[in-house]
Amino acid sequence: MIINELKKVLLDVNISLTELAQALGKRLNKPYSMQNLSNKLRNETITYREMLIIADILGYELKFIPKKKEK
């Protein structure tokens, strides 16, 4: 699940889900609570745009990487 992966990153960069929700809200000019963000992640209803912004806030980038073809 995306929430588990994100929690690992949050630990690595030492930021809480609450702080992330606040930063996301500032970037998107709309209110985000920790509960709202948590629900979106848990239900896997978060948008690609939101994930791009989250990655940027955390100092990461999202990429589509081709799978290695089996021979």
Domain assignment present for residue 11? The answer is yes
Alpha-carbon gap, residue 57 to 59, rounded angstroms: 6
Alpha-carbon gap, residue 71 to 68, rounded angstroms: 9
What percentage of the chain carries pLDDT values higher than 90? 80
Number of domains within the chain: 1
Domain assignment present for residue 24? The answer is yes
Domain assignment present for residue 17? The answer is yes
Domain assignment present for residue 32? The answer is yes
Answer for the pair 54, 43: CB distance below 8 angstroms, yes or no.
no
Domain that holds residue 12: 2-57
Domain assignment present for residue 35? The answer is yes
pTM score = 0.86
Structure confidence at residue 69 (pLDDT) = 84
**Mind listing the pLDDT tens digit for each residue in 30-53?**
998 999 999 999 999 999 999 999
